[in-house]
Structure 1
Amino acid sequence: MGLTPTGESPAMPQLKTSADLRVHNQTRLLRAVHDADEPLTRASAARALGFGRNTAAALVGELEAAGLLHEAPAGASGRGRPTTLLLAHPHGPVAFGADIREDSWTLAQIELGGRLTELETGEHDRTPRVFDDILRATRRHATDRLASLGIAIAGPIHDRRRLHISHLGWDEVDLDEQIGGDWPPTVVDNDARLAGLAEARRGALRGTGTALHFHIDFDIGGTLLLGGDAQRGAHNIAGEFGHMPLTDSGHRCMCGAQGCWSLDVGTNALVRRSGREPGYGAGRELAREILARAEAGETEAGRAVDDNAIALGRGLGALANALDPEAITLSGLGLELIRLRRGLIEHACAEGLMKFRRARPPRILAGTVGEIGPLRGAAEIAFDVALNAEWLRARL
């Protein structure tokens, strides 16, 4: 695969020449344009990066000539010199992001500035053959503009190579065997971690120093973000909060551990409450039906959702004691839980907090990126390749 989870090469060269400095500044400019929450003007980019007017003009001109950036007139805004905006070049680089759910997959394209366009979606057979589906879809949509591919997947990836998805029965799936030399440059990362990264770059956690994000689908996964950077741990598997015994569950998890938090939060927990055996990527529609019945006032469905929300809040309180986040965001099924049971989640969280923390509990927020968080995060780490000095130098 050849890339780190941030899409960068493992080592960044030191700036030794004026050419190195120029490429470094061009990279900074492209990163600023990409990360901005609205299009930048040349002047605003120069101010943000500390460039002089002439330097900014030269950098923009060089990047436009290379087909990496486009400067276009803004809409008329009254008297004075016309304003121009820094935008994606129509022939500039793009990256693909793929989100592999337990039962389906989605492929999307991202360009400079963050515009995300869904390309294709499909179902799969819940085996690693889904990687073949992703490769075929990538080939159907790829052009010579494609820089790289990022993939979000619902399981830990040990040492960035060995994939485990316990509730699909995937154990020690070797990504080097699934992603070969006929693939574009590809980086794979955990879905919850990428959803958190998406919130830090594009959503409710933008500018937050210490935060937790949890993506809830069949079960719950999360990530700790420090300064917008998702923490990965020594073996790239940090953040498996769902496999901590935070709620005294009496069940044994398919991961092999006893009493995992994920047994009480998410689709699988709702399916189990309905009397069915969860696992293997089944039950999504049933869970949504239970949520709808709970919202309509059905007692038994309401109790199932209550239990899910209480378990979620209890776990958040325990983790807040340990990690001291400023804010906690939720995505996936978490958006529905916080919409339907915010008060219950916050109360259970507060009950689990140490007494001195209760006056200023962490904010619990609905993620604003939404259910596409893992897809957005996968696309972002893929596009990071085009914001790398080594990649840029080869194209100037």
Structure 2
Amino acid sequence: MPQSMTSADLRIRNQVRLLRAVHDAAEPFTRAEAARLLGIGRNTAAALVGELEQARLLHEVPAESSGRGRPTTLLVPHPDGPLAFAVDFREDTWTLASVALGGAITELESGEHDRTPAVFTQIRAAVARHETPRLAMLGFATSGPIRDGHRLHISHLGWDEVELDSVLGEGWPPTVIDNDARLAGLAESRRGALRGKGTAMHFHIDFDIGGTLLLAGDAQRGGHNIAGEFGHMPLTGSTLECMCGVRGCWSLDVGANALVRRFGKQPGYGTGRELAREILHRAENGDREAMEALDANAASLGKGLGALANALDPEAISLSGLGIDLIRLRRNLIEERCLENLMAFRRDEPPQIVPGTVGAAGPLTGAAEIAWDAILAPAGLKERLQGRGSQPPGRP
């Protein structure tokens, strides 16, 4: 134990570790299993569980009977414990959900919006309709880069540096916010296809493509919180001008907008998702023009993945959003183009390219994860434990 860490600090550290273990686990586990997992004695584990139950964070419930002997109990989230709310803000829609310790998501409300910053007022009203004293933190996934943690930029909606400090001002619960593609990757790393991978990449494909580099389960944010704008790199040789101000962006060749453009239609940033789905359906049914548009999208995706794999050396690459359809319909083409663009010595062991298993809920799940990261931070947990039952359950 470091000299600067007191016995109280160590206790909080172990309480955080136990709560994180319950939150991250695929299934509930026993107090004895918790002791083994944390490398502590059973008496210490029992004391931790007792304190966390008193603070309305954990609860023990009987496991299914397995015969004679003392009944086993499992550690589960407390029924009156804190909740996180999560918001997934798309270019044209939004979804609000409630998320308990352990990651179980309950959708509360969803809606469309007019593609102006007034949507934040709409979402705040929805949060107020469902707000509860148990609400401890709100996690927000948004479809654009957030510079320095507070300036939101969504070029294809014409949003130029929207000040989040203003639109998420007074009246909001404690809120953490991040980019949707990064949060989709975080969700895959913690609860999906990239679980257990040391170095991985994730790409969320919607109207265009964004991604994140994941190291030991954490999505990398960069010096100004805007790392991961891989869609704005000239990876495929395009000469088109992007609305971001750069010419030749990868996003111009991958995603719903590129699919619509290749099909001969006007993409109309912020719209066109349904048309893209129709093109995919037509491609599945043998329509030549739709198949050509799909092939171009898949080939450009594979080419860019190969280039990025050369630079970042991921163990695996996962895809979400439209990427799940692309890999389902054109896996061979994606892998061929990726392989062609790998350095020769890398081709014997190319990174595995897999569909995300969290699915369309990736950004929402990631938003819930950063909210729970904040709830389970040592400082917040210490405050909650010191208050014991004197404050409403779930309020930090």
Residues 79-88 or 147-156, more deviating: 79-88
CA distance in 2, matches of 1:14, 1:115: 39
- Pairwise CA distance, 1:201: 0.5
Taking the aligned partners of 1:135 and 1:78, their CA distance within structure 2 comes to 51
Once the two structures are superposed, what CA deviation does each residue of 1:373-395 show, in whole Å capped at 9, x if it has no partner? 00100011011222111111122
When structure 1 is superposed on structure 2, of 50-59 and 384-393 the one drifting more is: 384-393
Give the aligned partner of residue 394 of structure 2: none
Q: Distance in 2 between matches of 1:181 and 1:24?
A: 32
Partner of 1:178: 167
Q: TM-score, normalised by structure 2?
A: 0.95
Q: For 1:102, which of 78, 91, 106 is the aligned residue?
A: 91
Please tell me whether the aligned partners of residues 181 and 204 of structure 2 are also in contact (alpha carbons under 8 angstroms): yes
Aligned partner letter, 1:167? H
CA apart distance, 1:43: 1.1
Structure 2: give runs of 5+ residues left out of the alignment.
386-396
Specify the code of the residue in structure 1 equivalent to 2:315.
E
Q: Which position in structure 1 is the counterpart of 2:146?
A: 157
Amino acid at match of 1:199: E
Which position in structure 1 is the counterpart of 2:393? none
- Quote how far apart the aligned CAs of 1:65 are: 1.2
Deviation at 1:88, TM superposition (A): 0.9
SS of alignment partner, residue 348 of structure 2: coil
Counterpart amino acid of 1:271? V
Query: What is the letter of the counterpart of residue 367 of structure 1?
Result: G
Which of 51, 59, 76 matches 1:70? 59
Q: Give the match for residue 390 of structure 2.
A: none
Contact 1:39–1:113 (Cα < 8 Å) also in 2: no
Indicate conservation of the 8 Å contact 2:335/2:353, yes or no.
yes
CA contact (8 A) 1:216 1:331 kept: yes
Once the two structures are TM-superposed, the CA of residue 297 in structure 1 deviates from its matched residue by 1.4
The residue aligned with 1:88 is: 77
1:268 to 257, 261, 264: 257
Give the number of aligned pairs.
384
Shift of 1:80: 3.6
Percent identical pairs in the alignment equals 73
What do residues 180-239 of structure 1 show as CA deviations (whole Å, max 9, x unaligned)? 121111111000000000001001111101100000000000000011111111111111
Using the alignment, how far apart are the partners of 1:374 and 1:245 within structure 2?
Answer: 25
Structure 2: which amino acid aligns with 1:86?
A: L
SS of the equivalent of 1:361 reads: coil
Q: In structure 2, what is the equivalent of residue 10 of structure 1?
A: none
With over 3 angstroms needed to count, the CA separation of the structure-2 counterparts of 1:303 and 1:39, relative to structure 1, is same
Secondary structure of 2:384's partner? Answer: coil
What RMSD in Å do the two structures reach over aligned CA positions?
A: 1.3
Of 54, 61, 80, which residue of structure 1 is paired with 2:50?
61
Give the C-alpha shift of residue 133 in structure 1.
1.4
DSSP 3-state at the match of 1:46: helix
Tell me the equivalent position of 1:42. Answer: 31
Rounded to whole Å, the distance in 2 between the matches of 1:302 and 1:79 is: 63
Q: Letter of the 1:78 partner, please give it.
A: G
- Give the aligned partner of residue 31 of structure 1: 20
Letter of the 1:149 counterpart? L
- What is the CA–CA distance in structure 2 between the aligned matches of 1:14 and 1:104, rounded to whole Å? 51
Give the equivalent residue in structure 1 for 2:368.
Answer: 379
Are 2:328 and 1:339 equivalent residues in the alignment?
Answer: yes
CA contact (8 A) 2:56 2:78 kept: yes
The one-letter amino acid of 2:342's match is L
Which of 342, 359, 375 is residue 370 of structure 1 equivalent to?
A: 359
How far apart are 1:16 and its partner, in Å? 4.2
What is the alpha-carbon distance in structure 1 between the residues aligned to residue 305 and residue 68 of structure 2? 53
2:392 match: none
Amino acid at match of 1:391: G
Cα distance between partner residues in 2 of 1:215 and 1:186: 23
Partner of 1:225: 214
The equivalent position to 1:199 in structure 2, one of 173, 188, 196, is 188
Aligned 8 A contact 2:175 2:371 in 1:
yes
Cα distance, 1:14 vs. partner?
A: 9.1
Which residue does the alignment assign to 2:106?
117
Please tell me the residue identity of whatever aligns with 2:247.
Answer: Q
State the TM-score, normalized to the length of structure 1. 0.95
Residue type at the aligned position of 1:77: S
